A = this chain, B = another copy of it.
């Protein structure tokens, strides 16, 4: 039984914890390779249900601590699910576009919020944290499993494929307030890196938008700004 530490070039990743494993077993059992249960796991109802679902879906269950020693999730993790990465794809509906996102926890949080506001298509542009990193999977609380995600080398590559989306770039300079900007029907909300934001030239090919706030802070952090934008752009959909 070979267990590999997570790396970008593997064609599978890991979901840590009973909640995520349960979610995968219920909604996407076909992408599961196997489930590891620690010797330290108590026979709680949750564990029994996971065993039953594995049995029903013919998923192999491995009872030992090797995977936990190699993958070293947090202390209170007694279940690990190894699952296949799925093919990159996005459809033509509205997009969240993240340029050079660098923090795994932030990316997972954005996935969770996107799923919460019905943005099922995520674009990642340029150098970025690996979106299958187990830290992203965990922070997304499973939202990752239900999103279409695709990576592009450059913003130009992305625009070439989806030229008709109205592009809103969230940036601080020369920007229109999110309260007054006209919201088109088919669009992309575009956000930059945590530390550096979007390059100034994005306003050449996007509508530059700002979320107005006091001068007491320099900027909102990335998951916060993107979540407020998603909330605002869908405020008529979720009453």
Contact = CB atoms under 8 A, between A and B. Distances in A.
A116 interface: yes
Contacts of A217: 112, 115-116, 141, 143
Interface string A208-224: 00011110111011011
Given A112-B220, A116-B220, A221-B109, A213 B238 contact: yes
Interface residues on A, range: 20 to 34
A117 interface: yes
Interface stretch (A37-45, A65-73, A227-235): A227-235
A118 interface: yes
Contacts of A214: 115-118, 238
Of the candidates A112, A216, A218, A235, the one having the most CB atoms from chain B within 10 angstroms of its own CB is A216
Contact of A231 (B113, B211, B238, B239): B211
A214 B118 CA distance: 6
A182 interface: no
A213 B116 contact: yes
A229 to B, nearest CB: 10
A180 interface: yes
Nearest to A113: B224
A146 interface: yes
A178 to B, nearest CB: 9
A177 interface: yes
Nearest to A142: B217
A224 B238 CA distance: 16
26 contacts: A109-B221, A112-B217, A112-B221, A112-B224, A113-B220, A113-B221, A115-B214, A115-B216, A115-B217, A116-B213, A118-B214, A118-B216, A141-B217, A141-B218, A141-B221, A143-B216, A146-B216, A179-B235, A179-B238, A179-B239, A180-B239, A211-B231, A213-B238, A214-B238, A224-B224, A227-B227
